[in-house]
Amino acid sequence: MAQPKCRQIADELRERIVSGALRVGDRLPTEPQLQEQYGVSRNTVRDATALLVHEGLVESVPGRSGGMLVREKVTLTFHAHRAEMPGPTAETDAWRSEVEQQGYEATQEFRLTIEVLPGELAERLKVEPESAAVLRRCVRFVNGQPSSVQDTYYPMDLAEKVPELLSPRDIPQGTTRLLAERGYKQVAYYDEYVSRMPTPEEATLLRLQPGTPVLHYIRTGYTEERPVRVSVTPFAGDRNRIVSTHGDASIIARFRPEEEPR
Amino acid sequence: MAQPKCRQIADELRERIVSGALRVGDRLPTEPQLQEQYGVSRNTVRDATALLVHEGLVESVPGRSGGMLVREKVTLTFHAHRAEMPGPTAETDAWRSEVEQQGYEATQEFRLTIEVLPGELAERLKVEPESAAVLRRCVRFVNGQPSSVQDTYYPMDLAEKVPELLSPRDIPQGTTRLLAERGYKQVAYYDEYVSRMPTPEEATLLRLQPGTPVLHYIRTGYTEERPVRVSVTPFAGDRNRIVSTHGDASIIARFRPEEEPR
DNA sequence: CAGTGGTCTAGACCACGCG
DNA sequence: GCGTGGTCTAGACCACTGG
């Protein structure tokens, strides 16, 4: 068998989706229908649809009127260069206003904990491995659906100098601005982007369908003197896009006016 | 059953991997061993390992001395802000020198075609949908393994003014520099990052294991006057990381000296 | 209720690749 | 050869959810 049956079936269904014969929200044929149509066993049909699910093209909805649905591709755009850069809006509000500007509803859940800093992150902050850090976690929802989790770690010594960092509530003006007011103005950012499959925790937190990767975004912020914080943000890959610009922003604005805030 | 058997098995195996009991390159127990150990059927064992494969933790190697292996996590770092920015090195050489600096071997395959521009990209270049464009494709290999595919599209009218763009060979000084010499100096970039599962073509081209997402990177380059090119680069998610910086680069260099080129 | 997909079993044959 | 995983079959029971 040059091509396994499950792949042939998947290929035909995929073709129907990308060609537009099946549109977003449409139901694929049910498993019994596909068994009949291709003359294969149920498991083979399931192997085929599993391929499409893991490609992120299709999602399964349980129940009587459920089935395998062609998946929606929403994309919320997150502007890396805009967030937290000097400007009129505070950082958390920056995210909120981005979302609302794009016509969605934004909500957040905040939590503060003290954590032992994983080695990977200690290295970015240039502190001892295993040292303590303040973790400010913000789970961000778009239209009630979890969209990303921003975990920001501050070295413990910084939290002693800026005790508001230990406030277990969202800081209205944004922590970046607060730090700037306290003499810790961030003037450089180191951004990393990775695409990977979610850990089970991430899958739960972001309510990810099987076959959905995360876009992992790590930002390290520096003052003139030192790194002061590292933010680790897994974005649900199927619902987010990160945008960043370099060079003369006014040119971008000319050709992408929709990108301008406000 | 609160927790399906296949997940319990996957959880235990995952735990052994993340805890370090199983290291990169180690073999998981074979299917018969797991059947025996957990008292389940072979399909259940396979459902369990399939979960790990789709999480990107494990890969299967066929043959007598194959099996399910804990997967290696290489990460090549690609510096978005460095590539193509004014500097001494040309753009393709920039990639090559990045790879070699990180201790790997770099090879590339180049191909030129004329394509009908997909609507998505036509929009970025501000040309009519369905218009023709020059596609310069570069498949990039690290240690002989495909790592990313850079597809760069130039509007046809630009190719008429800069006919070297139609050269079916790699352009030694780099197309960005060539364009600059011809009066099309790019002064602004619009970068987009998306994480998603590969299309079958991408999976083939990048030889992706099941469960490997791609990090999709799209850069639109602008002169003072207009967008002149759009590069679409799917990176194999398991082998790449993209880095970008904002603000005062000298501060980054102080804390991450390894990041400095040369 | 009836029909959807989710999980599981117990078999079978095959392609691969090391020894 | 022979053990690895890859594919497939034909059954079974279950959880979920709209009508």
Question: What confidence tens digit (pLDDT) does each residue in B57-83 have?
Answer: 999 988 888 899 998 877 899 988 876
Confidence of residue B241 (pLDDT cuts 50, 70, 90): very high
Partners of residue A237 in chain B, C-beta under 8 Å: 194-196, 213
Q: Which residue is closest to D3 in terms of CA–C1' distance? A: B64
pLDDT grade, residue A233 (50/70/90)?
very high
The domain that holds B31 is classified in CATH as 1.10.10.10
Which of A91-105, A189-203, B201-215 has the weakest average pLDDT? A91-105
Examine the domain organization and report whether B39 and B121 are in the same domain: no
Could you give the CA distance from residue A99 to residue A95 in angstroms, rounded to a whole number? 6
Let me know whether B166 and B254 are in one domain.
yes
Question: What is the reported pLDDT for A74?
Answer: 72
Distance between CA atoms of A238 and B214, rounded to whole angstroms? 12
Share of chain B above pLDDT 90, in %: 58
pLDDT (mean) for B4-12: 91
Angle at A196 between CA B251 and CA B55, to 5 degrees: 145
Which chain A positions have a beta carbon within 8 Å of B54's beta carbon?
54, 197, 210-211
| pLDDT of res. B231 | 96
Mutate to test the interface with B, among A17, A246, A252 (most CBs of B within 10 A): A246
A23 burial via Cβ count (<10 Å: 0-12, 13-18, 19+): exposed
Q: Is the CB of B62 under 7 A from strand C?
A: yes
Same domain, A95 and A209: yes
> Residue B183 contacts by C-beta under 8 Å, 6 or more apart in sequence?
none
Tell me, rounded to whole angstroms, the distance of Cα A249 from its chain centroid: 25
Nearest-CB residue to B237 (from A199, A213, A247): A213
What is the structure's pLDDT at A81?
A: 80
Whether the predicted pLDDT of A150 surpasses 60: yes
Question: Which of A59, A71, A194 is the best residue to mutate to test the B interface, defined by the most B CB atoms within 10 Å of its own CB?
Answer: A194
- Nearest residue to C2 (CA, C1')? A64
| Nearest residue in B to A58, CA atom | B197
Let me know whether B63 and B82 are in one domain: no
Q: What is the mean pLDDT of residues B40-53?
A: 93
Q: What is the pLDDT of residue A95?
A: 84
What is the distance between the alpha carbons of residues B108 and B183, in angstroms, rounded to a whole number?
Answer: 28
Mean pLDDT to the nearest integer, B243-256? 90
Nearest to A191 among B188, B194, B245 (CB): B245
Q: What is the CATH number of the domain that holds B218?
A: 3.40.1410.10
What would the mean pLDDT of B133-157 be, rounded to a whole number? 92
Q: Is the dihedral of CA A187, A188, A193, A199 positive or negative?
A: negative
User: Average pLDDT, whole number, for chain A?
Assistant: 89
Question: What confidence category does residue A96 fall into, taking pLDDT thresholds of 50, 70 and 90?
Answer: confident
Based on the fold, state whether residues A61 and A112 are members of the same structural domain.
no
Do A66 and A81 belong to one domain? no
Q: What is the pLDDT of residue A173?
A: 73
Q: A70, A91, A115: which is the final residue of a domain?
A: A70
Say how far apart CA A13 and CA A37 lie, in whole Å.
12
Measured between alpha carbons, how far is residue A190 from residues A160, B16, B83, B186, B249 in Å?
A: 24, 33, 15, 23, 9
Residue in B188, B195, B242 nearest the CB of A252:
B188
Strands (DSSP E) along A156-223, which ranges? 188-196, 214-222
Give how many domains chain A has, as a whole number: 2
pLDDT at A144: 82
> Is pLDDT at A230 greater than 90 in this prediction?
yes
pLDDT at A262: 39
Q: What are the backbone angles phi and psi of residue B192, rounded to the nearest 5°?
A: -125, 140
Nearest-CB residue to B187 (from A126, A198, A248): A248
Contacts of B100 (CB under 8 A, 6+ apart): B106
pLDDT band at B134 (very low <50, low <70, confident <90, very high): very high
Which bases of chain C are under 7 A from a protein CB atom?
2-12, 14-19
Residue A127 pLDDT greater than 60, yes or no: yes
pTM for the model: 0.91
User: What is the predicted pLDDT for the residue at B173?
Assistant: 73
Residues 125-164 of chain B with CB under 7 A from strand C are none
Chain A residues with CB-CB distance to B81 below 8 A: 246
Say if CB B69 and CB B59 are below 8 A apart: yes
Structural domain boundaries enclosing A31: 5-70
- Comparing CA positions, the residue from A64, A67, A83 lying closest to residue A34 is A67
Token pair for residue B153?
């599209």
Rounded to an integer, what distance in angstroms lies between the CA atom of residue B216 and that of residue B212? 13
* Last residue of one domain, picked from the residues A70, A96, A118: A70
Give per-residue pLDDT as tens, A34-88.
999 999 999 999 999 999 999 889 999 888 888 999 988 778 899 888 766 555 5
pLDDT for res B238? 84
The answer on A191 and A84 residing in a single domain is: yes
Instruction: Say if strands A76-79 and A240-247 run parallel, antiparallel, or are unpaired.
Output: parallel
Same domain, B153 and B246: yes
pLDDT grade for A182, boundaries at 50, 70 and 90: very high
When pLDDT is cut at 50, 70 and 90, the band that residue A210 belongs to is confident
Question: Quick one: which of A154, A131, A123 has its CA closest to B259?
Answer: A123
Q: Among B22, B52, B70, which residue terminates a domain? A: B70
Residues A92 and A216 in one domain: yes
Query: Is residue B249 very low, low, confident or very high in pLDDT (cuts 50, 70, 90)?
Result: confident
Are residues B234 and B114 part of one domain? yes
Average pLDDT over residues B237-246: 91
**A48 with A170, same domain?**
no
Residues B186, B117 share a domain: yes
From first CA to last CA, the distance across chain A in angstroms is 58
Q: What is the largest CA-CA distance in chain A?
A: 71
The reply to whether residue B251 touches residue A197, judged by beta carbons under 8 angstroms, is no
Distance CA(B249)–CA(B259), nearest Å, equals: 10
What per-residue confidence (pLDDT) applies to B162?
Answer: 94
The two tokens of residue B145 are 């393994």
pLDDT beyond 70 at A121: yes
Residue A261, pLDDT > 90, answer no
In whole angstroms, what is the distance from residue A182 CA to residue B46 CA?
56
- Which nt has its C1' nearest the CA of A30? C4
Helices B42-54 and B5-18: angle between axes, nearest 10 degrees: 50
Compute the mean pLDDT over every residue in chain B, rounded to the nearest whole number: 89
B227 vs B167: which has the higher pLDDT: B227
Which of chain D's bases lie under 7 Å from a protein CB?
1-12, 15-19
